[in-house]
Amino acid sequence: MHEKLQEIIDHTVEKFGLSNYHLKRHHIFREQDSFSKSSYLLSMEWFPNDLEETDEGFNPAGTAIIEFDIHRKRLRRIAFVQEVTYADAILTTFDMEETIEWVEEETGLEFGRQFKLIHDENGELYFQAAVDNVAVYPSGSIRMQFNDQDQLVLFSIDGDFPDETQINWEPFSLTPMITDPIASEQCKLLEVPVEDEEKWLPVYGATTIFVTNDGERQLTFSEVEANHSLVKKDIILEWDKPLKEPFKPLEIDLSLEVSLEEALANEPHPDTKPLTEQDQVQAVESIGHFLQCEFPNDSGQWKLTGIWREHGYIFAELKSPLSDPRVIERKMNIIMDREAYQVLNFNDNNVVLDMLKNFSDAENAVLSPEAAFDKLRGYIDVNPVYVLDKAKEKYILCGKIDCSYGVDAVTGEVISLDEL
C-alpha cells in the first residue's frame, strides 16, 4: 500500500473507531467541480470483522463505505449498510448544534455563511450551499441520516460551496417593474402528460429563469446547470443521400475510476480540456456521418444543440428542429471518442415517447397567455440567488423567477405542477 493511501487508511481507523472492521477493498475515483478543478477520492469498503459478502454478493449489514479526498484530506462520504454501525467513534447525537459543529469541522465550511439547513425530519438532515443564507447555483449539498439509536449512518457532501472571495457583493435591486414583464414572457403554453387519464393536458406555466441584478441578462435553468465545457450549437443536420455503412455501437465505460499513478500525479481531469474549433468541426462531421448511417431518412429532422466533454468522452445533444409544446420532446445524446471523434454509442428517448403515443391529444387552449399570467402572478416567486458566471469564475447576484403552479388552459383552474 502506498504511504499516502496508508496514511488515509490509518486516519480513517482512528477517526471513526474501526477496530471492529477490516478493509475489504478500495478504489480511486476522479471528479471535477464547476471550476474545472480535479479531485481524487479514495473509496474504502470496511467490513465488520468475521463477516463477508452475502450469497447474493451484497455487502453485509454494518459495512462502512468511506470516501476521502486524497489531496485535500477531507471526508466526502460515509455510509453504513442497512443503517447498522459497529464503529466506536461515530457521531452519536442528533443535537442540532453539535451536529452542525461536526459538519463545520469535517468540511471547513461555516454554517449560515456557506451552507444552510433545508430539511430536518425523521433523523434526516439536508443542507444546501448558500452565501449568508442566499442560495447558490449550481448548488452544493450535504446529506446526513441518523438511525433509531441516533448514530450517524450517512454523511455526504457534493457540489460547490463558494467562499467570500468568489462572490461579487451588491444589494439586491430587482423590482416587480423589472421582473413582471420577464415573468410574463416565461408564461408559455405547455402540454403535460397525465398518466392516470392517458392524455396531454394544456397548461400555462412560467418556466424558471435567472435575471442578473441589473436586469440586463437572462439565463435559463439549463444554462446555469449545464456542463462547464458545453459549447452551444444551432445546426440543422442535412445530407444528400444515405450511407449503407452499418453502425455498430460499442460498450461505453462511464466509470470514474483511475489508477493510483494518475491520482498521485494529481493530473487534470481530461474533461477540463476545452473543445477547440477543430474539435467541434470534426465532431459535427462525425455526427452527420453517423446519422446518414443509422437514420438515413432523417435529413433535416435533427438539430445539434450542444457539444461537451463528460466522463472522458465527447457528448452531443440532438433535438427536433420543430417547436413542440409538449414537455417531453424527442431528444438524442451521442457519445464520441475524445481523440478520434468516432461515434461510439447513442441513446434517445423514443422508448418514453412510445409509452405516450396513445395518449389523447391536448384540447385547444381557451385561456389567453395574458389571462393565464394574471392568474399566476400571485404564485410567482422572485428570490435573490448567486449564480456562477463560468467565464469569470465568480458568483453574481441574480433574481430567480420561478413558479410551481400552472393554469389549466381550458378551465382556467390554478393547479400544482408537482401533482401532475
CB atoms within 10 A of CB 413: 12
Which grid cell is 38?
Answer: 480535479
Q: What percent of the chain has a predicted confidence (pLDDT) above 90?
A: 80
Mean pLDDT to the nearest integer, 207-234: 93
For the cut 80, the answer to whether the pLDDT of residue 314 exceeds it is: yes
Question: Which of 51, 26, 52, 57 lies closest to 41, judged by CA?
Answer: 26
The terminus-to-terminus CA distance of the chain in angstroms comes to 53
User: 120 near 99, Cβ under 8 Å?
Assistant: no
Cell 472492521 -> residue: 21
Confidence of residue 378 (pLDDT cuts 50, 70, 90): very high
Q: What is the mean pLDDT of the chain?
A: 93
Mean pLDDT to the nearest integer, 316-334: 94
For the cut 70, the answer to whether the pLDDT of residue 119 exceeds it is: yes
For the cut 80, the answer to whether the pLDDT of residue 53 exceeds it is: no
Which grid cell is 155?
Answer: 454523511
Instruction: Report the pLDDT value the prediction gives residue 54, as an integer from 0 to 100.
Output: 67
Q: Which residues contact 109 (CB under 8 A, 6 or more apart)?
A: 103, 115, 161
**Residues forming beta bridges with residue 315, ordered by sequence position:** 308, 335
For the cut 70, the answer to whether the pLDDT of residue 387 exceeds it is: yes
Cell 389571462 -> residue: 371
Domain boundaries, the chain: 3-166, 169-248+259-420
Pairing of β 134-137 and β 381-389: parallel
Instruction: Report the pLDDT value the prediction gives residue 52, as an integer from 0 to 100.
Output: 72
Q: Is 221 exposed, middle or buried (0-12, 13-18, 19+ CB in 10 A)?
A: middle
Report which DSSP code applies to 217: -
SS3 271: helix
Which amino acid is residue 11, in one-letter code? H
Instruction: Report the pLDDT value the prediction gives residue 55, as an integer from 0 to 100.
Output: 63
Which grid cell is 275?
Answer: 473543445
Which amino acid is residue 87, in one-letter code? A
